[in-house]
């Protein structure tokens, strides 16, 4: 494994600010509204798939790829703010170990 490069004070401050802003997104009053809207969209995709599959029809490959990509992409976007704080803490801890 490659040794970690020590961040400058300016780089550390910038990282802390960015990760803090990302973490704050999950605390925004509208965040649950976004999560609900995304879940509704995913539910619509699931219903579409169920209707086609149980109706004896198929879903074309392009549509399958679109749905899979949308769901994976939006799940990643929703996970960024909630994972930002944990990743920041882990990174800063590793930096402290490197400095020691």
Contact 100, 74 (CB under 8 A): no
Averaged pLDDT, 70-99: 80
Q: Residue 96 corresponds to which tokens in the numbers above?
A: 């402290």
pTM of the model: 0.69
Length of the chain: 100
Alpha helices in the chain (DSSP H): 9-25, 31-54, 61-99
Quote the DSSP letter at residue 29: T
pLDDT at 3: 62
- What pLDDT is attached to residue 87? 74
CA distance 82 to 88: 11
- Say which residue, 23 or 56, is predicted with more confidence: 56
pLDDT tier, 12 (very low <50, low <70, confident <90, very high otherwise): confident
Q: Is the pLDDT of residue 70 over 60?
A: yes
List the Cα angle 16/18/23 in 5-degree steps. Answer: 90
Instruction: Give me the phi and psi of 27, to 5 degrees please.
Output: -95, -5
């Amino acid at each position: 494994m490659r040794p970690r490069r020590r961040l400058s004070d300016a780089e550390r401050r910038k990282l802390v600010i960015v990760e803090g802003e990302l973490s704050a997104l999950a605390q925004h009053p509208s965040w649950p509204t976004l999560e609900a809207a995304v879940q509704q969209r995913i539910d619509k995709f699931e219903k579409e798939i169920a209707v086609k599959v149980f109706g004896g029809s198929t879903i074309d490959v392009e549509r399958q790829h679109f749905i899979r990509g949308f769901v994976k992409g939006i799940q990643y976007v929703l996970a960024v703010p909630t994972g930002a704080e944990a990743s920041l803490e882990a990174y800063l801890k590793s930096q402290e170990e490197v400095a020691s």
